[in-house]
Chains A and B, each alone.
Chain A
Amino acid sequence: MLAISNLTKRYGRDEPVLKGLDLTVEGNSVVAIVGASGAGKSTMLRCINRLVEPTSGSITLNGTELVHLKHGELRRARRKIGMVFQGFNLIDRLTVMENVLAGRLGYVNLFQAVTRRYPAADIDRAFVLMERVGIAHYANKRADALSGGERQRVGVVRALMQEPEVLLADEPTASLDPRTSEQIMVLLQSLASELSLPVLINIHNVAQARTYTDRIVGLRHGTMIFDGAPVDFDKDALDAIYGGIESPDDETTGPLTHAAAPSRESRHDAT
């Protein structure tokens, strides 16, 4: 269980990016976090694994308080938090297998990491997961030789190699074409239930959020203004989150909400 309470983040002396956020995620639910650019979605996700230092508040993962951990303790806690990035953040010059095994870096010692002598169990797990997402045949290819969708699969497998207790996905589909991004969303959704893993997904695409997640959380200016089931996420909620903000997002999210129903059907075809 991931529990965030009264989380505040302020950069320097500016207006806080997050203003006392509360969020609890249990079981294997897939939670979409929506909001305009600058609403604090990414900051919130990064506060959980402390890529961004929270200013105040509390974040607990299965009973462990994360906010005040230092050095070794923080690294051990991070092993339990997988993260998938918008830009994939793979090590381009290394092979797919090395990238996947990098997910174990929190568990192996430096000598094992440098010489790539990972335990047999890790290598086996890597193959099982790569076969699950369909990239096993790329094991010895350089990561930058893969297509976007394949690269994000590597990113997902790397995060899963950590044997995480929660998976964070920071706009995992924003760099992908519509079809591939649907596939990645389906993958995240089904992995969540297969591995009974809570997944938090920052996402701009409201249609995908409504189709592939169990719960939608809407942020605006660092506060939560919507928390509920996808069916309750209506036009009013959308206006509350994106309304009045002059940005190209408005134009793309508008039509997409109307397209939500057909894409729900195509999802049944895909699965």
Chain B
Amino acid sequence: MTRPDAGGSAPARRWRKPPFIANPLLRFGLLATLAIYLVWAFGSLPFNWERISEGLPRAARIFGGGIPPSFSRFDLLLTGFTESLQIAILATLLGVLLSIPFAVMAARNVAPLPVYLLGRAVIIISRSFHPVIVAILFVAAVGFGPLAGILTLTLYSIGFVGKLLAEEIEEIDWGQVEAMRATGAGYLAVLYYAVFPQILPRQVGLSMYQLDSNLRASAVVGIVGAGGIGSTLMNAFGRYDYDFAFAILLVIIAVILVSEGVSGWVRKKIW
């Protein structure tokens, strides 16, 4: 009697998905606010249609100049990429190694409160600025070149890997920690036996992801003078070598594709 075709005489019951925001006043109020804001924003922002229409052919000229891309100065390209690769690998190694102590400090379940706050502060600070801003600071501090890039990306890696690793530590199986404590093991031995094995796969995965991400970022921070292929790209633009610049962009895309493939494969393998 609970079969759907049994009813017959009863009218078809209707169902509609309940609205995302239950209060109709709030729901329509928000929509109206959004509409008013959009009208105001488009009305007040200084879009200069004349300049935009002038700029379009210029953009076409730049893209036109970029095709076909020129690989004639291949050695310059290679030097730039080698430097970027060195920056990315060194920064990943340094960042990943340094992120471990900071992650331990920033995990509430293994660190006492003052240490936890310090660790969190370090991670929050190193995450609060985009690498480009940090790179500008480091270029000002240590001058143009790869050192600024390495420092920037190291800080970036500490922030990112440290934060995710700290969250991983906070979610470990606490029983293993209890078991190691019960044997009379000291703090570091407990960390080494009960905590690190549990976060190891995550750490390897994050390191691979970070290498990938640092390679990408090393091209960007190079633009503000922190060495690598970004600097080469900036010089090419500055000299109106659009065909060379286009060649650099193509190679960047290729390298990112390869590194993404490799890191994905490694992360899948090591678990």
Is A245 close to B, CB under 8 A?
A: no
Q: Is the CB of A83 within 8 A of B179?
A: yes
Specify which of A87, A92, A93, A106 is in contact with B183 (CB 8 Å cutoff).
A106
Closest residue of chain B to A75, judged by CB?
A: B184
Which B residues are CB-close (under 8 A) to A155?
179
A90-B179, A114-B192 as given contacts; A79 in contact with B198, CB under 8 Å: no
User: Which among A92, A105, A113 has the highest number of chain B CB atoms within 10 Å?
Assistant: A105
The reply to whether B175 and A105 contact each other, CB–CB distance below 8 Å, is no
- Is A78 a contact of B176 with CB atoms below 8 Å? no
* Chain B interface main SS type: helix
- Name the B residues within 8 Å of A107 (CB-CB): 184
Interface membership of chain B positions 193-231, coded 1 if the CB is closer than 8 angstroms to chain A and 0 otherwise? 110011010000000000000000000000000000000
**Considering only CB atoms, which chain A residue lies closest to B200 in the complex?**
A93
- The reply to whether A78 and B183 form a contact with Cβ atoms under 8 Å apart is yes
Query: Is the C-beta of A103 less than 8 angstroms from some C-beta in chain B?
Result: yes
Do A91 and B194 have beta carbons less than 8 Å apart?
yes
A residues in contact with B179, CB < 8 Å: 83, 85, 89-91, 102, 155, 158
Cα A93 to Cα B198 with chains together (Å): 7
Q: How far is the CA of A82 from the CA of B200 in the complex (A)?
A: 27
Does B182 lie within 8 Å of A110, measured CB to CB? no
17 A-B pairs besides A85-B179, A161-B183 with CB distance below 8 A are: A49-B182, A51-B182, A81-B182, A83-B179, A85-B178, A91-B179, A91-B194, A92-B176, A92-B197, A105-B185, A110-B188, A110-B189, A113-B185, A113-B189, A114-B192, A158-B183, A159-B182
Output the least CB separation between B199 and chain A (Å). Answer: 10
- Residue pairs across A and B with Cβ atoms less than 8 A apart, 12 shown, are A77-B184, A78-B182, A78-B183, A82-B182, A89-B178, A91-B194, A91-B197, A105-B180, A105-B186, A105-B189, A158-B183, A162-B183
Which B residues lie within 8 Å of A85 (CB)? 175, 178-179
Interface size class, chain A:
20 to 34
Query: Chain A: residues with CB nearer than 8 A to chain B?
Result: 49, 51, 75-79, 81-83, 85, 87, 89-94, 102-107, 110, 113-114, 155, 158-159, 161-162
B181 lies within 8 A of chain A by Cβ:
yes
CA distance A106 to B175 in the complex (A): 18
A263 to B158, CA, bound (A): 59
Q: A78-B181, A85-B179, A102-B180 are in contact. Are A110 and B186 (CB under 8 A)?
A: yes
A104 to B183, CA, bound (A): 7
**Complex-state Cα separation, A177 to B173, whole angstroms:** 23
Residues on A with beta carbons closer than 8 Å to the beta carbon of B198? 92-93
Taking a contact as CB atoms under 8 Å apart, the answer to whether A75 and B178 are in contact is no
Cross-chain contact A78 with B200 (CB below 8 angstroms):
no
> Which residue of the partner chain, among A75, A76, A91, A162, contacts B193 with CB atoms under 8 Å?
A91
In the assembled complex, the CB of B3 is this many whole angstroms from the nearest CB of chain A, namely 35
Asked if A102 and B193 sit within 8 Å, CB to CB, the answer is yes
Measured between C-beta atoms, what is the minimum distance from A196 to chain B in Å? 21
A119 to chain B, nearest CB (A): 15
Which residues between 91 and 118 of chain B lie within 8 Å of chain A, taking CB atoms?
A: none
Distance in angstroms from B64 CB to nearest chain A CB is: 57
Report chain B residues within 8 Å CB of A81.
Answer: 182
Q: Which residues of A contact B193 (CB under 8 A)?
A: 91, 94, 102, 105, 113
Q: For residue A89, which residues in chain B have a CB less than 8 angstroms away from its CB?
A: 173, 175-176, 178-179
Closest Cβ of chain A to B188, distance in Å, is 5
> Which of B185, B188, B197 interacts with A94 by CB under 8 Å?
B197
CA A90 – CA B188 in complex, angstroms?
Answer: 18
- Nearest-neighbour CB distance to chain B for A145, whole angstroms, equals 14
In the complex, chain A residues whose CB is within 8 Å of the CB of B200 = 93
* A106 CB contacts on chain B under 8 angstroms: 183-185
Q: A91-B197, A93-B200 are in contact. Are A76 and B184 (CB under 8 A)?
A: yes
The 8 closest A-B pairs by CB, nearest first: A106-B184, A105-B185, A79-B184, A89-B179, A78-B184, A89-B175, A93-B197, A83-B182
Nearest B residue to A162, CB-CB:
B183
